[in-house]
């Protein structure tokens, strides 16, 4: 058990921040920028090809100094080192947390329980690369001798969101004659729509499940097996059309997949931190081993930066501390992530799991109820689309919504002046949120008096801008690692276990139990509350009528 003394709200830096917030909390960004001509440069930092401009946060130099002190008092340096050294920092599951080892170069040593895990990591990466190449060059044939053209990843949560996001983000680098599909939902529609136009003889399923016991994934995998064997007319087809990604070889074999076609990983890789493990097999098939390696290098560059850079210039630390400042001192309940890059359209969904499953916790590492708020709700949509929907609330709503804008200087698909317009929108939105539009400015435009209040923007709304040269595999890796370590930083400050997910476990158990009750005709089986019992009865009745 770790014990951190004193609790967060008794840390000297926390108390100083409370007093400091009373002094600076009402300052307007207009004022802060007017007082310091160099603010834009002063409050920015760069690492692994990513530039972070955090000057549009409601902070002063003193805020930053106190936040850094808070990180020190909370033992962030020691906790990060413990993670990188393979200590069991996931206390409730008594596990090491070593996703950083998944992207360590071959010549690095990362020990877990005294064993260097890097050779194991690279052995799997090499096998993945060999397999990916065989799919990509057509050497791996389906059961009927046809080349594989469709890859369907079956997985959910951490075994789905990373690959979905990465395949979409790096589609520009993909082998275009391979069709990538993802099935996660136990809703039969997901499987049905993903496969309806596919030829089984040309389709490979990757069953991706760390535990190989997840209801949704095993249900979809069984349906896929029946789909393949039904269409190809032979159970032996499974060997050519199914591979597995898992830590559970026995369950993979029991399902009928030869463990020679299984790509393993380890219990020190959390689901939502697994996209650089074998869980990334679909990504590697899509973009090729070389691009996958470049993505890993991007992750690694940010890992190194996080571990070594001083806190005041450390991107993940800054992003994490600013989230704490906005949540705990400005009562921000949500945080919007708005990529001005169409290929990053699934990034907000990925970050939702990363942040909210990690830091959606209400007890400390010692099991005491926290006396401070923890994770905000992460959400978002690509810009500029968001500007034509929810940005209204961000500009003029009653709740402040801090926002991360993400943009790239070079387009992957140049087309006329599209990219300049895209980026002009990004910069303009961050500017408008920060500085607003005063009544005097609105009046000066000749606005009738009755309309003035409606056309005013108070401004002073926080945002970060993340800017990189171009969306490359390296840049994506650096960006995702930045958020991973930012989430870690927040969890350390809040003194919670960012690596367990007991809330997810509960759902898995409850659904299994309830599913067994639908086919029972006997009412006494319904041992829930009156609402759930009534819903189950109604469902039983109506589903029979529909048969
Ligand atoms: C992630 C969670 C969760 C998990 C899924 C799938 O951190 O643990 O989202 O990834 O429940 O689990 P399996 O990979 O074991 O099927």
- pLDDT by residue (tens digit) across 315-336? 999 999 999 999 999 999 999 9
Catalytic residue list contains 120: no
Give, for ligand 1, the residue of 99, 159, 509 to mutate: max count of ligand atoms closer than 8 Å to Cβ. 159
- Give the Å distances, CA to CA, from 284 to 125, 135, 175, 178: 10, 11, 10, 12
Lowest mean pLDDT among 10-19, 80-89, 489-498, 526-535: 526-535
Among candidate residues 201, 203, 210, 212, the one with its CA nearest the CA of residue 253:
212
Strands 150-154 and 377-379: unpaired
Model pLDDT, residue 3 = 52
Q: How many Å lie between the centroid of ligand 1 and the Cα of residue 190?
A: 18
pLDDT class of 2 with cuts at 50, 70, 90: very low
Model pLDDT, residue 544 = 74
pLDDT class of 283 with cuts at 50, 70, 90: very high
Catalytic residue list contains 172: no
Determine which one of 168, 216, 341, 357 is catalytic. 357
Query: For residues 160 and 274, what is the distance between their CA atoms, to the nearest angstrom?
Result: 10
Model pLDDT, residue 1 = 42
The mean of the pLDDT values for the chain is: 95
Percentage of the chain beyond pLDDT 90 is 91
Q: How many Å lie between the centroid of ligand 1 and the Cα of residue 220?
A: 15
**444 CB-contact burial (10 Å; exposed 0-12 / middle 13-18 / buried 19+):** exposed
The 8-class DSSP code of residue 413 comes to S
Percentage of the chain beyond pLDDT 70 is 97
264 lines ligand 1 (CB under 6 A): no
Model pLDDT, residue 4 = 62
303 lines ligand 1 (CB under 6 A): no
Give, for ligand 1, the residue of 267, 271, 487, 509 to mutate: max count of ligand atoms closer than 8 Å to Cβ. 271
Query: For residues 135 and 147, what is the distance between their CA atoms, to the nearest angstrom?
Result: 8
Please enumerate in sequence order all residues whose Cβ is within 8 A of that of 344, keeping only pairs 6 or more positions apart, or say none.
Answer: 165, 168, 169, 382, 406, 471
How much is the average pLDDT of 388-401? 95
Written in H, E and C, the secondary structure of 304-332 is: HHHHHCCHHHCHHHHHHHHHHHHHHHHCC
Q: What is the dihedral of CA 123, 129, 135, 137, to 10 degrees?
A: -140
Nearest atom in ligand 1 to the alpha carbon of residue 156 is 6
214 lines ligand 1 (CB under 6 A): yes
Per the model's pLDDT, the better-predicted residue between 527 and 391 turns out to be 391
357 lines ligand 1 (CB under 6 A): yes
Q: Full-prediction pTM beyond 0.75?
A: yes
- Give the Å distances, CA to CA, from 166 to 131, 144, 161: 19, 31, 8
How much is the average pLDDT of 355-360? 98
Model pLDDT, residue 132 = 98
Q: What is the dihedral of CA 355, 360, 366, 369, to 10 degrees?
A: 150
Catalytic residue list contains 388: yes
Model pLDDT, residue 495 = 98
**Cis bond leading into 29, ω under 30°?**
no
Quickly list DSSP for 435-470.
H-B-HHHHHHTT--GGGHHHH-B-----EEEEEESS
Model pLDDT, residue 510 = 79
346 lines ligand 1 (CB under 6 A): no
Place of tokens 């968001």: 386
- SS3 percent helix, strand, coil of the chain, rounded to 5, is 55, 10, 35
């Amino acid at each position: 058990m770790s014990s951190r003394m004193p609790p967060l709200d008794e840390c000297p830096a926390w108390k100083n921040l409370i007093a400091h917030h009373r002094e600076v909390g009402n300052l307007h960004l207009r004022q802060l920028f007017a007082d310091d001509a160099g603010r834009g440069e002063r409050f920015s930092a760069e690492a692994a090809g990513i530039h972070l401009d955090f000057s549009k946060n409601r902070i002063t130099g003193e805020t930053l100094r106190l936040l850094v002190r808070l990180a020190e008092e909370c033992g962030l340096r020691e906790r990060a080192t413990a993670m990188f050294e393979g200590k069991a920092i996931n206390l409730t599951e008594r596990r090491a947390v070593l996703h950083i080892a998944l992207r360590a170069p071959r010549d690095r040593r990362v020990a877990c329980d005294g064993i260097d895990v890097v050779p194991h990591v690279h052995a799997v990466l090499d096998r993945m690369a060999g397999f990916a190449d065989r799919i990509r060059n057509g050497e791996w044939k389906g059961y009927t001798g046809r080349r594989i053209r469709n890859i369907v990843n079956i997985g959910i949560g951490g075994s789905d969101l990373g690959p979905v996001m990465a395949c979409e983000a790096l589609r520009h680098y993909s082998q275009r004659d391979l069709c990538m599909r993802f099935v996660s939902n136990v809703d039969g529609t997901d499987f049905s729509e993903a496969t309806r136009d596919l030829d089984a003889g040309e389709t490979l399923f990757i069953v991706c499940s760390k535990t190989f016991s997840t209801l949704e994934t095993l249900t979809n995998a069984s349906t896929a097996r029946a789909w393949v064997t039904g269409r190809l007319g032979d159970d032996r087809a499974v060997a050519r059309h199914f591979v597995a990604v898992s830590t559970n070889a026995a369950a993979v074999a029991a399902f009928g997949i030869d463990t020679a076609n299984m790509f393993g990983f380890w219990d020190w890789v959390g689901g939502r931190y697994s996209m650089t493990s074998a869980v990334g097999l679909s990504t590697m098939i899509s973009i090729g081993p070389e691009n996958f390696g470049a993505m890993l290098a991007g992750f690694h560059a940010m890992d190194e930066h996080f571990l070594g850079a001083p806190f005041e210039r450390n991107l993940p630390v800054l992003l994490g501390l600013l989230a704490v400042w906005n949540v705990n001192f400005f009562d921000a309940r949500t945080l919007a992530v708005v990529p001005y890059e169409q290929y990053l359209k699934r990034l907000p969904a990925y970050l939702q799991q990363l942040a909210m499953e990690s830091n959606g916790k209400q007890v400390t590492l010692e099991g005491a109820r926290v006396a401070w708020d923890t994770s905000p709700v992460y959400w978002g949509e690509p810009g500029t689309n968001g500007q034509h929907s929810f940005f209204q609330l961000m500009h003029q709503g009653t709740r402040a919504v801090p926002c991360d804008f993400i943009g790239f200087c070079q387009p992957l698909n140049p087309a006329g002046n599209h990219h300049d317009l895209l980026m002009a929108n990004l910069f303009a939105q961050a500017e408008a949120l920060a500085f607003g539009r005063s009544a005097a400015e609105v009046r000066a435009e000749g606005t009738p008096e009755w309309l003035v209040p409606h056309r005013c923007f108070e401004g002073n709304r926080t945002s970060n801008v993340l800017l990189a040269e171009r969306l490359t595999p390296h840049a994506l890796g650096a960006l995702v690692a930045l958020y991973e370590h930012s989430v870690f930083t927040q969890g350390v400050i809040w003194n919670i276990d960012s690596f367990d997910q007991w809330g997810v476990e509960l759902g898995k158990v409850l659904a299994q139990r309830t599913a067994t009750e639908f086919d029972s005709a006997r009412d006494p089986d319904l041992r829930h509350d009156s609402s759930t019992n009534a819903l189950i009865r109604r469902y039983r009745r109506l589903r029979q009528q529909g048969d």
